[in-house]
Chains A and B, each alone.
Chain A
Amino acid sequence: MFVKRVCVVVILFCTMCLGFITGEAINVLSKTDPGIQAVRLLYSFETPEDLVKQLAQLEPMLTKDVAEQLTMDDSRTVDVYYKFKYQRSSVKIEFVEGTTVYYRLINDNIDPDKLWVFDYELDADGKICKVEEFETKVCGIDG
């Protein structure tokens, strides 16, 4: 009887461990992709304070030119918060093709069907040295 109970506990434990490991693995994999990280830091936030902190986190990941291009300062926080109509926002990554991240913005004031693109390049130091952002227009989805 005791052995059976132990086995049930072991099975439950293994299942929980597997779930945890899988979750963590997915989390680690998405965190290690600089493009996904950058998109989340730029567009996923609850409050403007979050955004300020996130931009500070993002800045060391960028070269000086890219930081300038993305206007990594307070004006960006104000702009983004204004554009998002003072509502929290989150990012749903749709798919990643190499260094191109396709994502949707989850925000009450942004069309959730719009797909956005963050295209980047990394330099030898692993910093994001080139960024192009796109808005997509879907021309055909079949199959």
Chain B
Amino acid sequence: MGNIRFIVASIISVCVVLISCFGLLSISHGEEWDGDLNTGKEVLTCMAEEDLDSLLKYMSPEMISTVEVNLGKNPLFQSGKDPKIQFLREENGYIEFIVLDGATPVYPKWSFRFKTVDGKISAYELYRLRTLDTRSEEYTEAF
């Protein structure tokens, strides 16, 4: 009888270990950047048009203060008199785009990675991408 209990306890222990490991694994991979696409596009448009009031409406309460502080460093927020965003790739949580000021692209390409909670941005990363041509001098300088 004692042995049977021990075997049952052992099986349960194994299951707990397995579930814990999978749990840990899912936590390590669980940082999903799958924000709502429409919110992401609206936010980018607000940034490019320097529309701070609208922008803040799309930010979660925790983000509002950091966004206000960091906007001065955000070049997308000063991207020209009449900037237009042209989206190149649109997915939940990830957008690639170019900014057109008149007909001149301000920078080759941008990418925006973001999370949303209840339709508001809870985290984001904004990158400007500079093309590397492996045969150019610039490529050497980049490193």
Contacts and interface: CB of A to CB of B under 8 A. Distances in A.
Interface of A: 3-4, 7-8, 10-11, 14-15, 18-19, 22, 69-71, 76, 79, 83-84, 95, 97-98, 100, 105, 109-110, 115-117, 132-143
B66 to A, nearest CB: 5
A97 B10 CA distance: 42
* Most B C-beta atoms less than 10 A away, residue of A7, A11, A76, A140: A140
Interface in B2-29: 3, 6-7, 10, 13-14, 17-18, 21, 25
A142 B128 CA distance: 15
Interface of B: 3, 6-7, 10, 13-14, 17-18, 21, 25, 33, 60, 62-63, 66-67, 70, 73-76, 89, 91, 94, 96, 108-111, 113, 115, 121-132, 134-135, 140, 142-143
Nearest to B117: A143
A115 B121 contact: no
Dominant secondary structure of chain A at its interface with chain B: mixed
A11 B10 contact: yes
B73 A11 contact: no
Contacts of A83: 140, 143
Given A98-B91, A143-B63, A19 B127 contact: no
A14 B18 contact: yes
A15 B17 contact: yes
A143 B62 contact: yes
Nearest to B108: A134
Given A69-B134, A143-B115, A18 B124 contact: no
A11 B21 contact: no
B132 A134 contact: yes
Which of A71, A76, A79, A142: most chain B CB closer than 10 A?
Answer: A142
Tell me which of B66, B123, B127 has the highest count of chain A C-beta atoms within 10 A of its own C-beta.
B127
A97 B113 contact: yes
